[in-house]
Amino acid sequence: EVKLLESGGGLVQPGGSLRLSCAASGFTFADFYMTWIRQSPGKAPEWLSFIRNKANSYTTEYNPSVKGRFTISRDDTQNVLYLQMNTLRAEDTAIYYCAKHGSHWYYFDYWGQGVMVTVSS
Amino acid sequence: DIVMTQSPSSLAVSGGETVTINCKSSQSLLYSGNQKNYLAWNQQKPGQSPKLLIYWASTRQSGVPDRFIGSGSGTDFTLTISSVQAEDLAIYYCQQYYDTPLTFGSGTKLEIK
């Protein structure tokens, strides 16, 4: 059974930083592209970033809305996906999900349960 | 960016009825190289994370009931739910994966009378 468990969320002040983690199990993590998505209350999901697998050189893509502030990375030895978030703003407040891609395509066949990030003073 | 427009934004139906949800993209999602439409449908039940229902516009994800049917091509797509059940109460989002940034529609909230 595929499981994705996010952690690292919480309350942070504007301008602060946070690193989210996503522990994966139930599939061969190293083979798959992985993504971060967020969802503000009552809004549609917003894709943030994905990272390809080793076979595709761990290349990354970002939504322009977070490019330069957020960094995605992965540790295939520990089956963990990360999202480093810097210079956080109030509008970054949301539930953050990690998701597994369907093979090397860009749809998401499994989502985690999400972790809340609140940016407020 | 590819803009995804869904309609209606909400609807209420009685159990057993058939529901149609529409999704229109601002540019074609049909890739000529493989004749596939890069369109997925996701279901988000109250208090849960989204779940993949359909990809390639019409391929059901494993375990998804066959009352969920995806159709359409190019810029116009439809999710049809036949014989709606109480458990289908959810928000349904279309998502394009033709190009980055990957984008979602604004959602269609399905309520059961």
Q: Do B49 and A108 touch (CB under 8 A)?
A: no
In this predicted structure, the answer to whether residue A105 has a pLDDT above a threshold of 90 is: no
User: What per-residue confidence (pLDDT) applies to A103?
Assistant: 80
Mind listing the pLDDT tens digit for each residue in B4-57? Answer: 999 999 999 999 999 999 999 999 999 999 999 999 999 999 999 999 999 999
Polymer length of chain B: 113
Is the CA virtual torsion A66, B95, A81, B44 positive or negative? positive
Out of A35, A65, A107, the one facing B52 most closely (by C-beta) is A107
Q: How far is A39 from chain B (nearest CA, A)?
A: 10
Mind listing the pLDDT tens digit for each residue in B80-107? Answer: 999 999 999 999 999 999 999 999 999 9
A41 touches chain B (CB under 8 A): no
**DSSP 8-state class, residue A67:** B
> Cα(first)–Cα(last) distance of chain A, in Å?
40
B34 touches chain A (CB under 8 A): no
Q: How far is B109 from chain A (nearest CA, A)?
A: 11
Q: Do B38 and A46 touch (CB under 8 A)?
A: no
Residue A61 half-sphere exposure, CB side, CA atoms within 13 Å? 15
A67 touches chain B (CB under 8 A): no
Classify residue A58 as exposed, middle or buried by CB count within 10 Å of its CB (0-12, 13-18, 19+).
Answer: middle
